[in-house]
Structure 1
């Protein structure tokens, strides 16, 4: 037998091995690409749900939710998807008094005038002659507002909390 006849099938076998290796590389690249695309899609849905939850919280806190806090469902349209966001009953964590020397109070602001008495008593002075701050009619309340989204189409579940500080001059049970 000649060396040429011994090698005649080797080219075919090497070609088949190379074809199998290239096929495996292509299949792996396609699977990796589709997995990455799925990950990006899931991330996009989660970010969109977070934005919807934040928008629902903002809708709730832009109302006077402190007088009668109730749970509610807020519908948020995010373009292609509309989310139903369950906003839990806002929880008042604490109430602290606002004193007359608080820098956030402005005696010339109409909203802040509600905090002060119309005919205040003369100030009480300390040993140095400085007025001692007195409690005003206003209080500062800290609230926690929670929004939950569960989207059955994508399976995403998002819970978001927002802390809110509100000034009130009305009596409160918080």
Structure 2
């Protein structure tokens, strides 16, 4: 028994299956590309956050020292994961005295005791830290202002 029209439909199932396979392959490859792009974006954000934390750590280290007595540029190695090797090198520029104002006067008891024999100044310092990581291409610059109280002689030497 011979089917009517079977000659004209020979291979149609194969063609439909191939088209569906091509569409499925395109969907999978686009999903893979999207996931790879998202992974790269998240990695870039993580590297930037780590570099920012390293810059902040170096700035805090400078601020906790007596930087205002002799401000100098520094290169500080920061170990973010505490494994004993430096993960980032932070270049801290020489702290700059930006402005100064006369400090509020001392209380009456301090003046009577002779504690405040000299004028004191509230000085505002700008500290800038830059992280350039060649391995990841991360480049971050952080700035921090800090208020330091100085004597009149220190202010004249450092903030002129």
- Normalised by the shorter chain, which TM-score bucket? 0.7 to 0.9
The SS at the match of 1:5 is coil
Q: Alignment partner for residue 153 of structure 1, among 130, 135, 139?
A: 135
State the match for 2:34 in structure 1: 32
The SS at the match of 1:99 is coil
Unaligned runs of 5+ in 1: 121-135
State the match for 2:46 in structure 1: 44
The SS at the match of 1:140 is strand
- Which aligned pairs between 1:71-150 and structure 2 lie closer than 5 A? 71-79=73-81, 82-100=87-105, 113=110, 116=111, 118-119=113-114, 137-150=119-132
State the match for 1:2 in structure 2: 4
Name the one with the larger helix percent.
2
Once residues 89 and 9 of structure 2 are traced to their aligned partners in structure 1, the CA distance between those partners, rounded to angstroms, is 71
Q: Evaluate the alpha carbon distance shift between residue 119 and residue 25 of structure 1 in structure 2; reply closer, same or farther with a 3 A threshold.
A: closer
Q: Evaluate the alpha carbon distance shift between residue 68 and residue 117 of structure 1 in structure 2; reply closer, same or farther with a 3 A threshold.
A: farther
Length-normalised TM-score, structure 2: 0.85
Displacement, 1:7? 1.5
Out of 58-67 and 136-145, give the one that drifted further. 136-145
Q: Evaluate the alpha carbon distance shift between residue 55 and residue 119 of structure 1 in structure 2; reply closer, same or farther with a 3 A threshold.
A: closer
Report how many aligned residue pairs link the two structures: 149
After TM superposition, the runs of 4+ consecutive aligned structure 1 residues lying more than 3 A away are 105-108, 116-120
The SS at the match of 1:93 is strand
Q: Does 1:167 align with 2:120?
A: no
